[in-house]
Amino acid sequence: MTYKQVLIAVTMVAACAGGDDGRVDPTLGTTGTTMPMTDSGDDAPACVPGTQIECACGGGVQGVQACLPDGSGYDSCECTTDGSGDGSGDSSSSGEPDPCGNGTCDADEDCNGCEQDCGVCEPCTLAPSCEGAEIPPMIETHADFLDDPMMAYVPPHEIVAMLQTHVEQATPAARLLAAALAEPTKGEPSIVATLRSALAAHPTATAAVRRQFAAVGLTAPGSYRAVHPLSAAHEAVAATELVAPTRPFTAPCDDPRLRVRVARLDVHEEDDDFANDEVYCAITAEASEAAEIKITPITPALDEGDSQVYSVDGGTVWGQSGLAAPKGNLLLTYYCIESDTSNGYADLVMAVGDAAMQANGVDIPGVDGWVFPTVGVVANLLAGALSLDGDDQLFNASQVVPEDQHVSLTQGAWWSVRRNGTHINSDWDWELRMEIWGCHDNAG
């Protein structure tokens, strides 16, 4: 049992016993219509149509306002970058001069949006080029940190027995946890301090962990640590298992573009023992600035041991309209359904399509997919559509593809999402092979 498994075991026993920053684009100001007051009578126009007057823009720049065709007032101030006041220069929607071109690379500018101020983008050497990258490469790398395997049920008494074995044998995992639960000591391994901080951030869970250790004989973590110290070798293994690898972006490789797809469905055990399983999945992908819904094609009847391979268009769940940058963590949610009616699949596609249209979703023609320019709508939208589906909704999972892994994943990787269960006295066991790949616009 690894460090992670011991932590999970303690948490599970405790549970039984206790029985992105997201990114937001800056909002620009808006221009209004200015109507200077006049001394004219009620029927007199406020200005002579076509007449222009000067108006003040930011930074000492002068602009012009033209009288509206009906003479009711003056239009918004047209500001220029050169102060000529002819309305032909560039300006922002707020009436302020466009900052790109002022010779300073401001905080909200970069080489992609303003090469004039920020210079040519430094090439990203960690990701492939976007040329021809819509089709996945040969994917053999296993991103096992994304694996979401089925979790077999283990009775609480068996978990307690495993925990007691670790304590009695003074395994490295037990030594680490005891050290983290004890008071700090000078020169202790950094992994101990890191774990102690994590425990301190969750006092209720930590109290439960202490109770479970006490139940199997570890009542004094400090005394246990003195007898069973954590060695340098133990620390190295623990750091490998428990500390996520640090792969910080370098500026040239920010915001890589990605595609994610279901490559294959494996039926290890079919739900329908007589007619076999016809399966379709509804999958959502949510990022900081966009979201997508995909309904995969319904499979033929699949028996135990059968698989269904999907085309790129048929299986893509993120990047359906082309390689897209999540610009933050990417949340994937899976619903896979065994067809039990003649119209369940068609009804779901229609329900999602109608709701997507009302939510400003963009339909991807011919592939039962939708892209949304905003977040926060797809979960409720799909939940509402699924509530109308009379088929057997069996498979459900959710996971996050962390932003700090996106650059490395552009090279191509796969992982597994697996679920099983029992439905109307019939066991089922399905597995999805997921694939991810991508590129960077500044690859070099």
What tokens does 270 get? Answer: 């079919």
Boundary of a domain, candidates 242, 264, 284:
242
Whether residue 231 lies inside any domain: the answer is yes
In a domain, 146, yes or no: no
The residue among 242, 258, 273 that closes a domain is 242
Q: Provide block-wise average pLDDT over 10 residues at a time, the chain (444 residues).
A: 58 50 36 37 60 70 75 77 45 61 80 81 91 95 91 73 91 90 90 88 88 92 92 67 48 90 97 91 96 98 97 98 96 96 94 95 95 91 90 95 96 97 92 98 85
- Together in a domain, 354 and 265: yes
Q: Is residue 149 domain-resident?
A: no
My answer on whether 429 and 369 are in the same domain is: yes
Write the burial class of residue 348 (CB in 10 Å: 0-12 exposed, 13-18 middle, 19+ buried).
buried
Pair 282, 161 in one domain: no
For residue 121, tell me if it sits in a domain: no
329 and 425 co-located in one domain: yes
Out of 198, 223, 242, a domain closes at 242
Residues 177 and 7 sit within 8 Å (Cβ to Cβ) = yes
Establish if 113 belongs to a structural domain.
Answer: no
Q: Is residue 13 located within the same domain as residue 59? A: no
Residue 105 lies in a domain: no
Q: In CATH, what number is assigned to the domain containing residue 286? A: 2.60.40.150
Q: Do 367 and 344 fall into the same domain? A: yes
Q: Are residues 310 and 433 in the same domain?
A: yes
Residue 103 lies in a domain: no
The verdict on residue 125 lying in a domain is no
Asked whether 273 and 426 are in contact (CB, 8 A), the reply is yes
Q: How many domains does the chain have?
A: 3
Within this chain, do residues 312 and 220 fall inside the same structural domain, yes or no?
A: no
Chain mean position to CA 368: 21
Q: What is the pLDDT of residues 192-242, one digit of tens each?
A: 888 898 899 888 888 888 998 999 999 999 999 999 998 877 666 665 555
Alpha carbon distances (Å) from 206 to 40, 199, 275, 278, 382: 78, 6, 49, 45, 37
Instruction: Using DSSP, state whether 441 is helix, strand or coil.
Output: coil
3-state secondary structure 10-28: HHHHHHHHCCCCCCCCCCC
Residues 280 and 409 in one domain: yes
Domain that holds residue 79: 30-35+43-93
323 and 237 fall within a common domain: no
- pLDDT at residue 12 in the model: 53
Task: Looking at the structure, tell me whether residues 282 and 316 fall in a common domain.
Answer: yes
Give yes or no: residues 285 and 369 share one domain: yes
**C-alpha to C-alpha distances, 119 to 64, 91, 108, 444, nearest whole angstrom:** 32, 21, 14, 16
Give the DSSP per-residue string, 369-409: EEEESSSSSHHHHHHHHHTT--SEEEEEEEEEE-GGGHHHH
Distances (CA, A) of 282 to 337, 338, 393, 442: 8, 12, 10, 33
